[in-house]
């Protein structure tokens, strides 16, 4: 799902389609063996491992993934099968998440999945209509769902309107916690910014389904300080940046941006050309729309916009 803005009903269809072949199994470690880092045997059946699943299996077995990735298939199998034998006593069962006959994640038995479909259904039950405009990106590792509130729209400048709302981040494969945060959408370009402060406050590990039952209160709390966020955005327009391109390079290093993200920032800067803090923030939130990025990389750039804003106002 690559559009910046889409109808909520389309998100529902997309997430449902993505999940049509999903299923989970609890697998005894004693039933597991390897032909390589990319192929696992469970009993007599062979399954492909996605990269995330291979990383999860390496973590469970306490074998450095980067080392394994450099080995030949035979040496990968030798290492993994040896450590399966060593770990049997301490890790008797694993949670394997499948997409058809492909293993998409290898997780601890303690991991309690919060699936994207559950989140979409819960948001629907809370009143989000299928024709509502939302911002959503989903891949096989992460979902970012940003739900703006049209009734809270305000004008930042004469023809530059902002629409606050909430952002939900989730990984079904253990890449990140479930999180809820305040969100700000710039309508003129659909740049989105996610509040880092609220993520730190409302981030939940996958240990229980109770968080979904508490979602109405969590959403309300995430939007309780939107007035402060609105004020900060207006203040950012008044803060001049003498050398914006140099500042971007400094911030890229400070926040340890990856190669793809740095290229996206370089692509976004001419489109948000300006010399205020606001334009710097919008460069990062615009960069999140670059087609080369994974969903988590997009999410990180939207969060980074709020971190730059918060740092300047702290």
Give 68's contacts (C-beta < 8 A, 6+ positions apart): 37, 54, 58, 76, 79, 80
Q: In the predicted model, what is the mean pLDDT of residues 60-87?
A: 92
Does the structure show a pLDDT above 90 at 287? yes
CA-nearest of 162, 200, 164 to 180 is 200
Does the structure show a pLDDT above 90 at 226? no
* pLDDT tens, position by position, 95-120: 999 999 999 999 998 999 999 999 99
Is the pLDDT higher at 312 or at 125?
125
Pair of tokens at residue 280: 């710097």
256: left (phi over 0), alpha (psi -120 to 50) or beta: left
Task: Report the distance separating Cα 174 and Cα 171, nearest Å.
Answer: 6
Per the DSSP assignment, residues forming a β-bridge with 24 are 97
Does the structure show a pLDDT above 60 at 4? yes
Give 132's contacts (C-beta < 8 A, 6+ positions apart): 7, 8, 147
Task: Report the distance separating Cα 101 and Cα 270, nearest Å.
Answer: 45
Q: In the predicted model, what is the mean pLDDT of residues 258-282?
A: 94
Residue 234's pLDDT band (boundaries 50, 70, 90)?
confident
* pLDDT tens, position by position, 143-190: 999 999 998 898 887 788 999 999 999 999 999 999 998 899 999 899
Mutual angle of helices 277-287 and 244-254, in 10-degree steps: 50
Which of 38-42, 83-87, 222-226 shows the highest mean pLDDT?
38-42
Does the structure show a pLDDT above 60 at 89? no
Q: In the predicted model, what is the mean pLDDT of residues 280-292?
A: 95
Residue 201: its pLDDT value, please? 67
Burial 249-266 (b: 16+ CB within 10 A, else e): eebbeeeebeeebeebbb
How far from each other are the two terminal CA atoms of the chain, in whole angstroms?
A: 36
Does the structure show a pLDDT above 70 at 88? no
């Amino acid at each position: 799902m690559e559009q910046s803005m889409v109808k909520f009903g389309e998100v529902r269809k997309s997430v449902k389609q993505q999940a049509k072949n999903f299923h989970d199994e609890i697998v005894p470690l004693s039933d597991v063996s390897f032909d390589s880092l990319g192929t696992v045997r469970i009993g007599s059946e062979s399954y492909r491992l996605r990269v995330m699943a291979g990383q999860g299996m390496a973590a469970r077995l306490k074998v450095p993934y980067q080392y394994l990735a450099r080995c030949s298939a035979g040496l990968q199998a030798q290492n993994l099968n040896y450590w399966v034998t060593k770990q049997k006593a301490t890790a008797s069962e694993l949670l394997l998440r499948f997409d058809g006959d492909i293993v998409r994640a290898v997780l601890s038995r303690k991991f309690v999945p919060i699936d994207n479909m559950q989140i979409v259904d819960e948001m629907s039950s809370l009143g989000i209509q299928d024709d509502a405009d939302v911002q959503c990106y989903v891949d096989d590792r992460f979902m970012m769902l940003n739900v703006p509130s049209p009734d809270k729209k305000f004008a930042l400048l004469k023809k530059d309107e902002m629409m606050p709302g909430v952002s939900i981040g989730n990984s079904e494969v253990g890449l990140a916690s479930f999180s809820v945060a305040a969100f700000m959408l710039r309508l003129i370009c659909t740049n989105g910014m996610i509040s880092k402060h609220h993520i730190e406050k409302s981030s939940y590990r996958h240990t229980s389904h109770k968080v979904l039952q508490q979602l109405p209160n969590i959403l309300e709390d995430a939007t309780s300080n939107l007035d402060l966020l609105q004020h900060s955005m207006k203040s950012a327009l008044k803060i001049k940046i003498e050398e914006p391109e140099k500042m971007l390079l400094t911030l890229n290093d400070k926040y340890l941006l990856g190669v793809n993200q740095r290229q996206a920032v370089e692509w976004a800067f001419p489109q948000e050309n300006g010399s205020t803090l606001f334009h710097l923030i919008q460069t990062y939130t615009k960069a999140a729309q670059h087609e080369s990025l994974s969903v988590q990389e997009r999410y990180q750039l939207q969060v980074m916009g709020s971190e730059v804003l918060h740092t300047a106002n702290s």
